[in-house]
Structure 1
Amino acid sequence: MRILRRILVVAAVFVVVATAVGTGVYRWQRPMILTGTGYAAHNDCAVTEIGGRLDAASDLPANPIKSYLRYGSDGSAETTGSLLGVLAKQKAWYTKGFGCTLADARPRLGPASTVSADGNPFTHAPAPKSSAKLDAALGRAFGKGLSASDAAALGTRAVVVVKDGKLVAERYAKGFDATTPQLGWSMSKSATALITGMLVQQGKVTLDDHGLRPEWKKDGRADITVEQLLRMTSGLEWDETYDLGTPITQMLYGESDMGAYVAGRPAEHKPGTVQEYSSGSTTLLCSVLAQRTGLGADLPRQTLFRALGLSSAVLEPDAAGTPVCSSYLWATPRDWATIGQFALQNGKWHGKQLLPEDWMKRSLEVEPVDKTDDPGYGMTWRVNVLPDGSMRWPELPKDTYYASGHDGQKVIVLPSQDLVVVRMGFTPDADDEASEVALVEEVIGAGAR
């Protein structure tokens, strides 16, 4: 998901050409440039209003067009992104409890339910005093021993370790602390699976539900199930490549109703036969769940957030009120650890079974398909033992599974160790995964006590 770098390297060339040739070239490249201005507007709004930081530019990867982007707020709840302050304007609107939404005008999202931290064992826990071995492991995760440039490229911003249900170690980069929400990107998908599981437990939806959209009634898309959307085996035509004119780019930066856009994609494969990674599938699912429950943008707050006491969590919606469940969940690293602990406990929280008892087992089962672009992908969680019997991470226990997001976001769960490790950062280029595996391996070796 090298979104700005991939698209805007090309777009930068056209900025120069458009200046020289005129508006015709600009109109041709406007969809690509809108991706950049939309990303910049949303990023500036969210980093400032949700993350509470004043360095939004540090979350924009280096690219040739970066110096041409103009973005910022006029002091209101509106943030505008543009090219040279004039072209391809995009607006992001902040709503308390719901974060930032790209839209031409302020979206009407309704009230955001209050979420208390009560019941969350990590929110107000004192900073843990970790062992020397754990401190050393966390130090290396932040680049200790690397050159200054390599440590900066690694870009670790937070590590949280939970062992036996207790917070045993944490560390944060300068400018971040235990109260700073961070964007999980595609880890949002794993949280969405937990929301879905809660609704299944409540009898409001089943994994076999189909006929999910009215426009599918007359064709094979009506056979697509809730489970297939979670497993990304819907068969809907999709391209997760971040480039001009691809579905993922259009969904995030060109559609006010993302669910409707994804639902309008044609069928490419028979449902259940091909697995194709698709952020559209998860966001479409949330549009279905938001409508069926009548909760709209408040869906995450009235389910997972309230139940676990995720008081920092914000899942940003589109202009139609659909939570963008593929990508836009913000939470403190401690709250991300809470999500991992909830999964580790198989959905049992303070004595209440909030997920079906077999939910996580089913989530970690990788169903056979004719073709996949993501081996080891279950119902939004990735597993360590791949379908061919090989291990993704041989250094770690076989039962390891994890949620993963762009730029090095991880919630890694190890049931046999009763361990959850969260790593968050901004890592566009470095091999963060090797560092994450080494961190978990060292945490296990340190006894995490």
Structure 2
Amino acid sequence: MRPLLNSAFSLSLMAGALLAGTSPGYAAEETEATLNAYAAGYLAGFTCSAVFNGKKEMDAIRRDELTGIYPLIAERVNALEPEINREEQWVRVSYDNGQRARISVWRPRLGCVDLPVGATLADRVHLANPFAGAIAPGADNGQPWSDQQPATMTSSQQQALNEVVAQAFTKKYGSGTRTSAVFIATPEHILAERYQPGFTAVTPQRTWSVAKSIGASVIGAAVWQRLVETEAPAQLANWSHPLDPRRQITLEHLLHMASGLDSNKAGNRTDRVYMGGGLVSDTATETALEVAPGSRWKYANNDTLLALRTLRERFATLDGYLQFPYQALLDKIGMQHTYLETDWQGDFILSSQVWTTARDLGRLGVLHLNRGEWYGEQVLPSDWLTYISTPAPAQPPENAPAYGAQWWLYNERFPELPNDTIAARGNRGQFLLIIPSENLVIVRRGYDLAGEPGFNEHDFTRDVLKALASE
């Protein structure tokens, strides 16, 4: 049986972080001024991140980040030209015949932040910068993996696996696929690793909605440190009035994509935050309930943003919050080439705007396989893998993977994969799959084309498992 992973429904979910799967009529509600600002913001933000996070040149940025994107803004983006200041580390894009400009500014470790419409370069002094002066990351240290191949892996298995990986860089797994990286590992060994020309083990790219699962891991670290409880109400300041029914929303509801909040027709449409220079606090926290919390599953970027906003409101200072994911998670497991980007008031946009490498995603997978432990230190609760892998009470339709806590579940709905397979999935073909029963992590990165069949991670994972089981 071939799962319906390339249906219109699942494509809209996979695109989740931003734009795919949205009806054209819905986009038509935007004014010309807003669309122009979106296009300029998109170009400024992606160019900034690709240049200063990814160390890419403009020709590669146009090839990868700026082609095959959402049709609503694609033509407008291609008509604009970014101004890149490498010394001061910002990008500016003028639009509306030079009357206006959008600006994106890079900060150490935090990557790029898009300033609001109307902001000038002088305004960047108001941005929080808790990692000022941080040294840029160097080569990947290869930990926790051994340089030696596992003795249990035969030459025929290695050959079969190499053939499957090579096919991932063709159109075998989807006509719209453009693979940039494949990384397959156990906690001890790298079994396969390959990159497109120009990419290396330290080349980050945007995760899109894979960021949601990274965000859930940050929440897991906060649970371990007893900063939050999943069963407790979110208790956001905006929802504090005694008559506000949103006081019933728990952190768990948000992790399960079951807040019940109005997230417009397509819950993956958060354009004003993603490329409009808007704020999490002005968008995600202001929507009203549509249904009772916990009664409906709906894929919504806002639920992820609100889960992290819940954590932020537990901190006394903004700098303390911005440093927490790095001190509590990323630095502990060696995710040194990972950038968690924020809005201009310091809310992490952990529904999409993370730039990281295939190896760093592999490390996150290994942490989960190790039940939250890293070199003898507990980073996540020991039962966190069980928690995120448990199906939420409200579930997606049956032609898609099931859902846990910000992770997709390939359980009995997909009999060709082990029932304990979970995945982080993102737009343009970003995948991190964890298979505890096989002690295996599979990462695929790409720049798949909007509107065409994307990378079928189910079939690829099935073929990887067959290769590893070959005689």
Residue from 294, 303, 322 that aligns with 1:272: 294
The residue aligned with 1:22 is none
Aligned to 2:165: 138
How many equivalent residue pairs?
Answer: 424
Is residue 341 of structure 1 aligned with residue 366 of structure 2? yes
Match of 1:172 in 2: 195
In 2, the alpha carbon distance for the partners of 1:322 and 1:160 equals 30
1:25-81, Cα deviation, whole Å (9 max, x unpaired): 9x9421122222111110000011101111221211344334322223144322122
Between stretches 179-188 and 205-214, larger displacement belongs to 205-214
Structure 2 unaligned residues grouped into runs of 5+: 1-14, 69-73
1:68-79 alignment, distance < 5 Å = 68-75=79-86, 76-79=88-91
What do residues 316-357 of structure 1 show as CA deviations (whole Å, max 9, x unaligned)? 111011111111111111011111111122212112232222
Relative to 1, partners in 2 of residues 1:9 and 1:381: Cα closer, same or farther, differing over 3 Å? Answer: closer
How far did residue 287 of structure 1 move?
Answer: 2.4
Paired residues of 1:128 and 1:169 also in contact (CA < 8 A): no
Normalized against structure 1, the TM-score is what?
0.84
Tell me by how many angstroms 1:448 deviates.
7.8
Mapping for residues 43-442 of structure 1, pairs under 5 Å: 43-54=46-57, 55-58=60-63, 59-62=65-68, 63-75=74-86, 76-83=88-95, 86=98, 89-103=101-115, 104=119, 105-106=123-124, 107-112=126-131, 121-122=142-143, 126=147, 131-143=158-170, 153-218=176-241, 219-239=244-264, 241=266, 248-293=270-315, 294=317, 295-369=320-394, 376-385=402-411, 390-391=412-413, 393-429=414-450, 430-434=452-456, 436-442=457-463
Aligned to 2:10: none
Mean Cα deviation higher: 209-218 or 328-337: 209-218
In structure 2, relative to structure 1, the CA distance for the partners of 1:368 and 1:77 (3 Å cut) is same
Q: Deviations over 1:71-94 (max 9, x none)?
A: 231443221224365255211111
SS of residue matched to 1:447: helix
Distance (Å, rounded) in 2 between the aligned partners of 1:46 and 1:31? 22
CA distance in 1, matches of 2:218, 2:283: 22
Over 3 Å counting, the alpha-carbon distance change for 1:250 and 1:262 in structure 2 is same
- Quote the Cα distance in structure 2 between the aligned partners of 1:240 and 1:311: 37
For residue 397 of structure 1, report the CA deviation from its aligned partner.
1.4
Structure 1 contact 240–278 (Cα < 8 Å) conserved: no
Show CA shifts across 1:218-258 (max 9, x none): 2111111111111111112103739xxx9611232335431
Identity across matched positions, percent: 27
Higher relative contact order (Cα pairs below 8 Å, separated by 6+ residues): 2
- One-letter amino acid of the counterpart of residue 431, structure 1: P
Instruction: From the superposition, tell whether residues 278 and 372 of structure 1 become closer, same or farther in structure 2 (CA, over 3 Å).
Output: farther
Q: Distance in 2 between matches of 1:34 and 1:125?
A: 48
The one-letter amino acid of 1:111's match is P
Task: Tell me which amino acid in the other structure corresponds to 1:292.
Answer: R
Return the letter of the residue paired with 2:95. Answer: L
Aligned-CA RMSD value: 3.4
8 Å CA contact 2:258–2:293 kept in 1: the answer is yes
1:44 and 1:8 map into 2 onto residues whose CA distance is: 27
Structure 1 residues 78 and 144, CA, compared in 2 at 3 Å: closer, same or farther?
closer
- Secondary structure in 2 matching 1:33: helix
Equivalent residue for 2:40, pick from 37, 42, 51: 37
Asked if 1 retains the 8 angstrom alpha-carbon contact of 2:147 and 2:189, the reply is no
Task: Check the 8 A contact 1:346/1:360 in 2, yes or no.
Answer: yes
Match of residue 467 from structure 2 = 446
Structure 2 SS opposite 1:65: helix
Q: 1:194 to 1:275 in 2, by over 3 A?
A: same
Contact 1:211 1:217 in 2 (8 A): no
Whether the aligned pair in 2 keeps the contact of 1:120 and 1:338 (CA below 8 Å) is no
